[in-house]
């Protein structure tokens, strides 16, 4: 449904650009174009809570379209080689398939790009350490990060103002009267609107099972029982305490025993502690969603595990280090039980999310 609105809007804008205004018009006046944004009602799977947007940035069709175009636009990077989507690829559930991300200069960051699936429901902060409170604030960062897009916002603002299409899109999304009003604040609002639309389709086996439309196979059911500790005669794999439905995450930072560190100052990456300044938060990281997890290898904040088997082996040993969470203990599961957990994780795969036409490069 959104796509149709985009098509109509695209035609209108094309007409506007051809007939109404010279994009090189030095006064940059945009008031001939109507500003009448269409509120967007997100449809979310029945078991999800409602999503709230900040009151100064409600979702509109026009805002989302603009944000989507910016998200995929390589003009964000200094040398026009990368966009947000270079590291957050829709086909990989908005990750990049790398252990740690590489920026435009080929420099490696220290962390792995997280999936942006259901990001708009996430109330507890963004990045592995929760450094940013909102997606709007987060979106300011990659542009100027020297190991990401390595540009300056004033350069990006200039490129957006000088572009043939952006002035009209900013007008229809935010009602600006002149292209000189295009700003980083409006650009990140638009990006954030697009990001909030990145919601599960509700067609994974798990979601269909929740609605009574799918029966787990025996193996999936065993994995489910292990994951959530459902039956007395089946061991507790503890996963569900930290990876809780519907998002298969919790709004907390935890140490899942990745590093055998017994002095809090010894973590190579301090994680949450770098933000709070609390020694006891060092080595804690955001609990990531497990939806689409079989598509987002490598795993963990530093991409240390190449595949899901290595992750399960890690949990089976209980991890290490004296600051690890008490739920991290040796599980001693049999290979067949680990396979069953893997099958259960497969029920969280949402193919329709990957191919949703509204999440691809709009090609405008
Ligand atoms: C060079 C690769 C790269 C580029 C380009 C990039 N990102 Fe990221 N993104 C990352 C990495 C790596 C992280 C994790 C950073 C951390 O935790 O310190 C991240 C984290 C995020 C998060 C937080 C996710 C969460 O679950 O907490 C959001 C949202 C995000 N990026 C959006 C964007 C947007 C919007 C853009 C474009 C303006 C962008 N990214 C450009 C690599 C990239
Ligand atoms: C004590 C809380 C806790 C428990 C219990 C737990 N996890 Fe995690 N999980 C985390 C945290 C925290 C991370 C991120 C850690 C990091 O990157 O530093 C994580 C990361 C993961 C990842 C990597 C995701 C990604 O995108 O990189 C997978 C897969 C995973 N967990 C699966 C499981 C499974 C399966 C179980 C049960 C066997 C489980 N977890 C039990 C807290 C937990």
Tokens of residue 68, six digits = 């989507």
CB distance 171 to 17 below 8 Å: no
Quick one: which ligand is closest to 344's CA? 2
Q: Is there an atom of ligand 1 within 6 Å of 120 CB?
A: no
Q: Which residues line ligand 2 (CB under 6 A)?
A: 237-239, 241-243, 254, 256, 258, 285, 287-288, 290, 293, 296, 299-301, 311, 315, 325, 327-328, 341
Instruction: Name the CATH superfamily, with its identifier, for domain 205-348.
Output: Cytochrome c-like domain (1.10.760.10)
CA of 128 to the centre of ligand 1 (A): 10
On whether the 2-200 domain is CATH 1.10.760.10, my answer is yes
Binned at pLDDT 50, 70 and 90, residue 98 comes out as very high
The answer on pLDDT for 204 being more than 70 is yes
% of the chain at pLDDT higher than 90: 89
Q: Answer whether 130 contacts ligand 1 (Cβ < 6 A).
A: no
Q: Which ligand is nearest to the CA of 345?
A: 2
**Does 2-200 match 205-348 in CATH topology?**
yes
pLDDT of residue 1: 43
Query: What percentage of the chain reaches a pLDDT higher than 70?
Result: 93
Judge whether residue 230 has pLDDT over 50: yes
- Ligand 2 centroid – CA 102 distance (Å): 24
Separation between Cα atoms, residue 197 and residue 293, nearest integer Å: 19
Q: How far apart are CA 364 and CA 34, in angstroms?
A: 19
Q: What is the mean pLDDT of the chain?
A: 93
Report residue 69's pLDDT band, with 50, 70 and 90 as the boundaries.
very high
pLDDT of residue 312: 98
Residues 6+ apart with CB under 8 A from 364: 10, 65, 69, 165, 169
Spatial separation of the C-alpha atoms in residues 168 and 176, rounded to whole Å: 9
Measured in Å, residue 352 CA sits from the centre of ligand 1 at 22
Q: What is the pLDDT of residue 9?
A: 59
In this model, does residue 141 exceed pLDDT 90?
A: yes
Average pLDDT over residues 7-17: 57
Ordered by start, the domain boundaries in the chain are: 2-200, 205-348
Q: How far apart are CA 65 and CA 364, in angstroms?
A: 10
How remote is the CA of residue 112 from the centroid of ligand 1, in Å? 9
Q: How far is the CA of 173 from the centre of ligand 2 (A)?
A: 39
Is the shortest distance between the CB of 127 and ligand 1 below 6 Å? yes
In this predicted model, what pLDDT tens digit does every residue of 15-55 receive, in sequence order?
A: 555 544 555 566 899 999 999 999 999 989 999 999 999 99
pLDDT tens sequence across 301-329: 999 999 999 999 999 999 999 999 999 99
- The answer, yes or no, to whether any atom of ligand 1 lies below 6 A from the CB of 169, is no
Centre of ligand 2 to C-alpha 273, Å, is 18
**Hey, which of 117, 206, 256, 311 would you mutate to test ligand 2's pocket, going by the most ligand atoms within 8 Å of its Cβ?**
256
pTM of the model: 0.94
C-alpha dist (Å) from residue 151 to 3, 142, 169, 314: 31, 9, 22, 39
Distance CA 194, CA 179 (A): 21
Q: Tell me the mean pLDDT in the region 73-83.
A: 97
The pLDDT of residue 196: 98
Q: Which residue minimizes the CA distance to atom 21 of ligand 1?
A: 127
CA pair distance 278, 287, nearest whole angstrom: 18
**Which residue's CA is the nearest one to ligand 1's atom 36?**
84
Contact 37, 173 (CB under 8 A): yes
Asked whether residue 295 carries a pLDDT value surpassing 70, the answer given is: yes
Inform me whether the pLDDT recorded for 7 exceeds 90.
no
């Amino acid at each position: 449904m959104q796509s149709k609105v985009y098509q109509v809007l695209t035609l209108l804008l094309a007409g506007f650009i051809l007939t109404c205004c010279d994009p090189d018009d030095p006064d940059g006046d945009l008031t001939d174009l109507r500003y009448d944004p269409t509120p967007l009602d997100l449809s979310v799977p029945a078991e999800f809570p409602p999503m709230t947007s900040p009151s100064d940035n409600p979702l509109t069709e026009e805002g989302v379209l603009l944000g989507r175009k910016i998200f995929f636009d390589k003009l964000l990077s200094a040398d026009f080689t990368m966009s947000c989507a270079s590291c957050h690829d829709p086909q990989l559930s908005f990750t990049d398939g790398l252990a740690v991300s590489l920026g435009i200069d080929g420099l490696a960051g220290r962390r792995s790009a997280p999936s942006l699936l259901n990001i708009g429901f996430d109330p507890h902060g963004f990045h592995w350490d929760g450094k940013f409170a909102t997606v709007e604030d987060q979106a300011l960062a990659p542009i100027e990060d020297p190991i990401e897009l390595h540009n300056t916002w004033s350069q990006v603002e200039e490129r957006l103002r000088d572009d043939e299409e952006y002035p009209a899109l900013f007008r229809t999304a935010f009602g600006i009267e002149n292209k000189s009003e295009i700003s980083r604040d409006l650009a990140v609002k638009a990006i954030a609107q697009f990001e909030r639309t990145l919601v599960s389709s509700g067609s994974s086996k798990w979601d269909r099972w929740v609605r009574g439309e799918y029966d787990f196979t025996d193996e999936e059911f065993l994995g489910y029982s292990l994951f959530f500790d459902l039956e007395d005669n089946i061991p507790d794999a503890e996963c569900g305490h930290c990876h809780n439905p519907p998002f298969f995450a919790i709004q907390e930072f935890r140490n899942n025993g990745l590093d055998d560190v017994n002095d809090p100052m010894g973590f190579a990456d301090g994680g949450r502690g770098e933000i709070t300044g609390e020694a006891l938060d060092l080595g804690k990281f955001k609990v990531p969603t497990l939806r689409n997890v079989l598509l987002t290898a490598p795993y963990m904040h530093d991409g240390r595990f190449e595949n899901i088997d290595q992750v399960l082996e890690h949990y089976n040993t209980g991890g290490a280090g004296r600051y690890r969470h008490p739920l991290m203990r040796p599980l001693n599961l049999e290979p067949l039980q680990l396979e069953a957990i893997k099958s259960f994780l497969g029920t969280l795969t949402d193919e329709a999310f990957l191919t949703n036409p509204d999440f691809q490069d709009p090609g405008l």
